[in-house]
């Protein structure tokens, strides 16, 4: 069965398109303010969630930052027709294909344990404790 194309109300910049075209398993983006790192991270999470029955996380340094930085924008990006339900408390959008996009904070590391993840976007990576990536997420 061919993959379903998810149309999102976003236009990537040429630099974001270059990142998206990269086939590396892990991508690290170092760029200045106003580059669109958050916007691209949300795009990447939505794109990954087009695969059915997957868990996709966007992780900020704190839960509050995830909510402040990305939750409203995520709901603007996702077409309402593909959102099956959204949970404001857990910052999770469940799509009609049974995939989830969840916003998390690494300030409570135990909340990051135990899930099999399809994709992860780490916002402001230098502000997370080093072991979060190596010992928990990866």
pLDDT by residue (tens digit) across 85-96? 999 999 999 999
Distance (Å, whole) CA 18 – CA 14 = 6
Model pTM above 0.95: no
Q: Summarize pLDDT for 8-32 with one digit per residue, the tens.
A: 777 888 999 999 999 999 998 888 8
- Asked if 7 and 43 touch (Cβ cutoff 8 Å), the reply is no
């Amino acid at each position: 069965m061919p993959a379903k194309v998810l149309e999102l109300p976003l236009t990537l910049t040429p630099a974001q398109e270059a990142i998206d075209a990269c086939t590396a398993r892990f991508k690290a983006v170092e760029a200045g303010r106003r580059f669109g790192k958050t916007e691209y991270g949300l795009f990447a999470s939505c794109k990954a969630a087009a695969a059915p029955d997957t868990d996709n996380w966007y992780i900020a340094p704190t839960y509050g930052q995830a909510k402040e930085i990305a939750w409203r924008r995520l709901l603007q990006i996702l077409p309402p027709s593909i959102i099956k339900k959204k949970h404001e408390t857990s910052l999770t959008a469940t799509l009609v294909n049974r995939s989830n996009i969840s916003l998390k904070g690494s300030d409570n590391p135990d909340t990051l344990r135990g899930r099999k993840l399809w994709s992860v976007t780490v916002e402001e990576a230098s502000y997370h404790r080093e072991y979060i990536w190596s010992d928990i997420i990866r």
